[in-house]
Each structure stands twice: as structure tokens, then as C-alpha cells.
A and B are shown apart, each in its own frame.
Chain A
Amino acid sequence: MGSLNLDMGLRDILSEKKPAILKRWFDAIVDTYPANTAEFLKSQQDRFANPVGHAISQGIEEIFDELMAGVDPERVSPFLDNILRVRAVQDFKPAEAVSFIFLLKKAIREEMKNLNGQTLGELPELESGIDELALCAFNVYMKCREDLYTVKANELRNMTSRLLERANIIRPTGGLEPETKEAVIKVKRKEVTE
């Protein structure tokens, strides 16, 4: 996917208004959290004391720049991941988790409401780029959830693997040993030394 085919006028306006757009976008995302939380996410500037706020503010800037350059799924995915990895474990339904992308449309429209008709006519092109971002976001969200389930499965395996290995139920490389029950009995009787 190439860069966005935008009129220089709109491109200039967007880059000039970038800080204002990002602020509107950030505030809209943060307002999906309860009021007390939103206040904290906005006010605490230390990235280690407020990792969620930091991930959002840094992430949306990177995503915005990518949008301007033309959405390349491979390049933009790590930026989306920084935000979505958090939202994938927070109390959001899948649609809620990825919805923050669409809030950018709202932020741009609000920031540009005084523009003339010709420039506004180019907004659909920009909004198609945002739709592409949303599709990428869906992929990234799913990857995060899959990672979460893999983490769960691996953890359960780690907890018990040594026990099962010792009982000769699984081999160190994985896979079930035949005659499992007998093997367990042998271990219990201490007939198995290995």
C-alpha cells in the first residue's frame, strides 16, 4: 500500500493540526475508562507510573504517522500491539477494544469542521486509511488473545511437566507414553529409578 493520495493542502493542515488531533484522540480513548481512571491516565506523565497512558499517547502518535505515510500492516502492527495488548486483557469486549481506531475519525472531523468543501471532500480517502487500520487492529487483537491462551497452556504444562515426565507419562520432548497407568504404579513403588 502506497502513501495516501492527499492534496497538499489537507496534508499540511493535518500535520499542522497533528498535536490537536492527537489530543482529541487521546482524550476520547481515555474517556472509555471510568472518570477517576481517565483523570489519572491524563495527568500522570511518568511512563513507569502510568504505563497505560504512556502506551496510548506514544502509540497513537506512531499510528497517526503511519496513517499519513500510508498504512503498511507490517509496520503499523507493533504500534497497534502496544495499545491493544493492554486492551486485550482489560475489561473490553473485542469491539470495544479495537474501537479506539474509529475515534480518530471523530477527532479529525471535530478538528476540521471549519474547513472548506474541497478539502473536506478528501476526507473519505483519509477515512479509508483509518478503516484499514481498524482491520489491522482486529488482527493484532486476535494475536494478543491467542498469545494469552498460549501463555495459559504453557503455564499449565510447566507446572506439571516434570511430574508427568517422572511418572513416565510424557517424554521430555512431549507426547504420551503408552501404558501410562502401569508407569505411574511403578514410580509409586519406586521400581523405576530413571
Chain B
Amino acid sequence: MAAKLPKPDELAAGIDFRPPKTGWMDTPVELKEGMFCWGAKEKNLKAVSFPNARDWSPKEKDWKLPENWQRIVLEGMADRLQKYRSFKLFMDICVRCGACADKCHFFIGSGDPKNMPVLRAELMRSIYRREFTKAGRIMGSIAGARELTLDVLKEWWYYFYQCTECRRCSVFCPYGIDTAEITMMGRELTNLLGLNIDWIAGPVANCYMKGNHLGLEPHTITSSVEFFLDDIETLTGIRIKPTFNRKGAEILFVTPSGDLFADPGTYTAMGYLMLFHELGLDYTWSTYASEGGNFGFFTSNEMAKRLNSKIYAEAKRLGVKWIIGGECGHMWRVLTQYMDTWNGPADFLEVPKSPITGTVFDNSKSTKMVHIAEFTADIIKHGKLKLDPARNDHLVVTYHDSCNTSRGMGLLEEPRHIIKSVCNNFHEMPDNTIREYTFCCGSGTGLNASENTELRMKGGYPRANAVKYVRDKHGVNMLANICAIDRATLTASMDYWVPGVKVTGVHELVGNALVMKGEKERTTDMRAEPLPGKEGNE
């Protein structure tokens, strides 16, 4: 006999999709596929002499931890509380006002309360209280304290690798707590147990051994640039001849290695080559300081310092006067806020002075390194370039402020000045999504892997949502930025959330508009798309 057909209410009664109503401390972490990256491989940790190197999987129950792991973590915490006053301060002063809670792109996109910056920090504060404060030791959970168990460690790992250290939350904190620094400490502590992710550990090992994240050897770097030169010659009829490792050049140029191989960053790299050629700049590339980015920064202070040291070392070896750095995000947080005290003072270099305009970059007096957007904006402001913005007329552009260049160094106007000079169609996204309020791409701090695509798409949603708004309102079809990770990852975010919007570096737009001496008539842009009015010519 047929079973009785259930009524809708009866059916619904058996299915409850509502989440459990337990407090955060009593809701154990569940590692969900798509939300985390693979664990660091043994060989990559060994390459930099990191502890507890072994192949492990976050999906397995056994993380192959050393027996005394709790002691290692707590001693590591004690050490850092003493070493970094900011860490101690940030552990103590939060009043849980909630101003930061809804400002994180991962919380907004995922809806997971443990992605509220206040709660993410609380994951660590609860251990701090238990182990380092009297109230926490005596009163336990009443004082917001808890013991460091294996579940807590896994929770740390899961959520500290779900924060891109973008620092948007810190803009809203009345106390100025920088939650990114708490994530940094969380990552340092997990690294004491060999719990890095491989998407960070691999590039770090490569960078340490070969100078760049991709592990490119010198001949690969030069041959890669050669390919760009071929493409530029096809486009313009001009053969550019850059130099590598040239002693006595005035300027050393350092850029993220991603731009040498990953589209669309490659077009940005072509833009640099064309601009420097047109200016007749006395500069050199380096196959040793072949990486501006620094995944050590997502690992530990010490590792970041080790990887950064090659920039000044190479500048000294080549005897240059100063350094220009390419379009990158976290690279610039490292360069402006850490490099000088880690590996400086670079007193063998001179205060950067543009040989074209005579502008002295006083803001880089100490580091001796200038962001290419500052350099180019100055050139354009002085009218030193012949530009044809109409060549970008097929593009309707908006600009995404990278977290690190906007919040980390205040580079807000220069990229906009460049874009407005080389493009006729530019539209800003809404005010609360740009400049210092910019939303992260969702894939920074080494989280740009593919196994965590769901996480990246959630985190990228607030940014994409604002792009979608200007696409629908103004017909925007190009998202410009000055960060290599943005160029690599916003492409995926746009393809998922806002199809039809492509991603570009600012210097690709410059390369398109730049009228070079002796060039042939261009019929396409760098991507071989026909220029406006030249459709059907090729």
C-alpha cells in the first residue's frame, strides 16, 4: 500500500535549516571544503628551515602536531606579547563595541559571525585572557577566557587564514585596533607548528631559493620579457631593448613576478616597458631582485624580512641611485612601512628625483623607493607624454583601490590622475566602497588559491557588488587597479559576479594611450582588440 502523502507542514517540520543557537565558544569549528587552502608541504617548509615540516592535510583528523604543541604556542605568544607592544595593547583594549563587526568583506559575504573582526580576534583574546591575565585564570569563561585545545587551534587556523589583512575594520575602530596585526600573530603562531598553507609556503620557498614567487630562473625571466618585446613590436613597430642586471643604471625597477606570466598582468608589464622606453629612462630590471611581492609577510615578520633583503642588496650591488617599484598591493605595505627598519637605512642610495621632471619624491626620502603610479602621475602632470586617450574609448573604466596602497600608504589620487589622463570614460564606484573604505578583492594575503574558491567569491562579493552597480548604471566594462593579486583574482570574481567586466592594470591603459615616437599606426590595443574606429582593419 502506498505510503500516506505527507502534508507540506509535516515535510517542513522534518527539515530545519536554521543554524544552532549556541554561543560562539560552544559552537565547534567545522572545516568546510572550499573555505580553506591545502596544508604546507614538507619540502617548502624545509627550504626555509621552518619547524615541524611534514606533509599534512587539514581534512585529516590528525594534523601531525608535535606533542608539546600547546607549550610551543603559549611560549610563542608570551614571546610576541613582550616583543610587540601593539599586540599586547590589541589583546587588552577592545571593548567589543561592534564598530568593526560588519565591516569585513568575509563577514558580509559569508554571514559567518566568526568572520566579524571582533570575534576573529576574540578567538585569540580568549586564550590570552586564560593564560596571561589573572581574571581569566580565575573566572574562566565568565571573563571570556578558555583553554587552548586542539579544537581551538583548528579554529584559529581556519579563521586566521580567512582574513586578508586588508585593514578595513581598523578604519572603523575607535581605538585604532589593527585586526590585521592579530591575524599576523595568529599566522606566526600557527607557523611555529608548521601549519602554514601551501599557497603561501610554496612561493616563500621559491622566493627564498630563486628570488621570486614563481621560482623563475634568470633565463626564464629574460625570455619572458623578450616575448613582451615581440608583442610590442607587432603592435607599434618599435623594438625595445631593456637591460637586465646592468651596473651603473640610475634606477632599479622591481615588480611582482606575477606580471611576467599571468594575464592580464602581462599587459601591465608591457605598459611599463613602453613607458620607460618612451621616456628614455636609464633603468635596469634585475633577475635577482625579481619579486616585489612578499609572501613572507603572510608568514612571519622574520620571513618577510629575509625575503625583502634582496631589494636593497641588489640596489647596492648594481650601484643604482634609487628604485622604482611596479604596481602591487602588499608589496607596498612592506616597502613603505617595514623595509626601512628591517633592512635599511639605504644610505648608499639617493633621495629619488625624477630625471624627466626634476620632481624630488620627498615622501620616499627614507626608503628611496617610488611607486610607479607616483612616478607616472608626475610625468603626466608635467605634460611629458603624448597621449591619445581615444585609444581607450572602447573601455568604460572604474578604479578599485587596493587595500594596501590606499589604507597602507594613502596612494589615492595618483592612479586616478593617470586613468583620467589616458581614458575618456571613467566612473567611480560608490563612496563607501572606495579609497580608504575600499573593499578587498577577497583573495589577498596568499589566499588566492583555487581550492578555496568559495571563500574567495564570498569575500569578493562586496567589491563585485559595487562594480555591478557601476556596470549597470554607466556601462563599466573595465576594472582598473594597481595590484598584481587584484589583477589575478578580480578576473575570477568578475567572471562569477559581474560577467562582462574585465580587469586591467593602470599601466596597460597608459601603454594603450601612449603615442610613441616613430610608432606605426595602431589598429588594436595590447590585447589585440580592435581600437575604436579601426574595427575590420585586421
Contact = CB atoms under 8 A, between A and B. Distances in A.
B276 interface: no
Contact of B454 (A50, A89, A95, A166): A89
Chain A contact residues: helix, strand, loop or mixed: helix
Contact of A48 (B15, B109, B110, B432): B432
Contacts of A52: 108-109, 111, 461
Contact of B495 (A90, A106, A154, A159): A154
B461 A36 contact: no
A35 interface: yes
A151 B453 contact: yes
Given A151-B496, A155-B450, A159-B488, A49 B108 contact: yes
B495 A48 contact: no
Given A155-B492, A161-B263, A162-B263, A51 B108 contact: yes
B261 A162 contact: yes
A156 to B, nearest CB: 6
Given A48-B465, A151-B492, A158 B262 contact: yes
Interface stretch (A3-11, A26-34, A66-74): A26-34
A49 B463 CA distance: 10
Interface size class of B (residues with CB under 8 A): 35 or more
B454 A48 contact: no
B224 A166 contact: yes
Nearest to A82: B468
Given A32-B17, A48-B430, A148 B263 contact: no
Interface string B263-298: 100100000000000000000000000000000000
A62 interface: no
Contacts of B116: 36
Contact of A89 (B12, B15, B430, B457): B457
- Counting chain B CB atoms within 10 Å of each CB, the highest count among A150, A152, A155 belongs to A155
Contact of A33 (B111, B219, B450, B453): B111
Contacts of A159: 261-262, 488
A45 interface: no
A9 B110 CA distance: 41
Given A91-B32, A159-B262, A99 B15 contact: yes
B18 A49 contact: no
A41 B262 contact: no
Contact of A102 (B12, B101, B219, B461): B12
Interface in B214-270: 219, 223-224, 227, 261-263, 266
Interface of A: 31-37, 40-41, 44, 46-52, 55, 85-86, 89-92, 95-96, 99, 102, 105-106, 127, 147-148, 150-152, 154-156, 158-163, 166, 187, 190
20 contacts: A33-B19, A48-B462, A48-B465, A50-B102, A51-B108, A51-B465, A52-B461, A89-B454, A90-B111, A99-B15, A151-B453, A155-B491, A155-B492, A158-B491, A159-B262, A160-B261, A162-B224, A162-B262, A162-B263, A166-B227
Ranked nearest first, the 8 interchain pairs of A and B with the lowest CB-CB distance are A51-B465, A37-B111, A89-B457, A36-B113, A33-B111, A34-B19, A89-B454, A96-B17
Interface of B: 8, 12, 15, 17-19, 21, 32, 34-35, 101-102, 107-113, 116, 219, 223-224, 227, 261-263, 266, 430, 432-433, 450, 453-454, 457-458, 461-462, 465-466, 469, 488, 491-492, 495-497
Given A32-B18, A51-B462, A85-B496, 4 more contacts: A35-B19, A36-B101, A127-B8, A148-B496
